[in-house]
Structure 1
Amino acid sequence: MTAPAWTAVCPLDRLEPDRGVAALVDGVQVAVFRTVDGLFAVDNRDPVTGAYVLSRGIVGSRGEVPTVASPLHKQVYDLRTGRCLDLPGVAVLRHEVRCRGGQVEVRLRQEG
């Protein structure tokens, strides 16, 4: 089975630091973030509420961990792993992201 292709999302300079944007990648809503720690991409769907809002979350950190807090109930997710730092066993799917030729690209990861 071949890996999914990289999909161009936007130019890097269109991503404001510490803000998220939503992108549709192969039919999946993805939240893309640019922080001082780098680029991150996770599913835009909040696993607690089912709403597609994580791209509008509050970007921050807990210690050395870059995070996003859901704008609805404020659960905090580790942008590196997708793990919820507030609710054990809850996570958001993380995707691969890179900048190539000034373009931010995302490659979907499958669960599991």
Structure 2
Amino acid sequence: MRTTSQWDIVCTVDDLVPESGIAVWTPEGPVAIFYIPHRLPALFAISHTDPFSGANVLARGITGDLKGEPVVASPLYKQHFNLVTGQCLEDDSVKVRTYRVLLDGKAVRLEVSKAKTLVEAA
């Protein structure tokens, strides 16, 4: 079975905060979008849900760089998640979902399943 996808607009570049994240709501669940303008690519998207607590908080984490890789530290228990792969650096058995995200003019687009449509941006 093939899964098809589409690129939904979830926010605009004006909604983004440099070196930080914002949360958007999709039919697939909450997603954290991070804007790190000094990196290429500058946009990253991962699940907003912290797998250790179950709370939707990852967009509020502190971004940084560990061993040359962009990361976010969970604001609750401080685990670091690689923004490219979703891998938890402190626990190899834990990974958050990553999403493809791109800037289209001023629109930020997120790849979601085609059967689902954008509900709202948070």
TM norm structure 1: 0.91
What are the residue-to-residue correspondences of 1:33-72 with 2, within 5 Å? 33-35=34-36, 36-37=38-39, 38-72=42-76
**Structure having the higher Rg:** 2
Aligned to 2:108: 104
Cα displacement (A) at 1:64: 0.8
Structure 2: where are the runs of 5+ without partners?
114-122
Q: Separation in 2 of the partners of 1:20 and 1:34?
A: 6
CA RMSD of aligned residues (A): 1.3
Moved over 3 A (4+): none
Structure 1: where are the runs of 5+ without partners?
none
Identical amino acids, percent of aligned pairs: 39
Q: Separation in 2 of the partners of 1:13 and 1:87?
A: 35
Match of 1:9, SS state, is strand
What are the residue-to-residue correspondences of 1:70-81 with 2, within 5 Å? 70-81=74-85
Cα displacement (A) at 1:14: 2.1
Cα displacement (A) at 1:3: 2.0
Letter in 1 for 2:43: L
Higher relative contact order, chain-length normalized (CA < 8 Å, sep 6+): 2
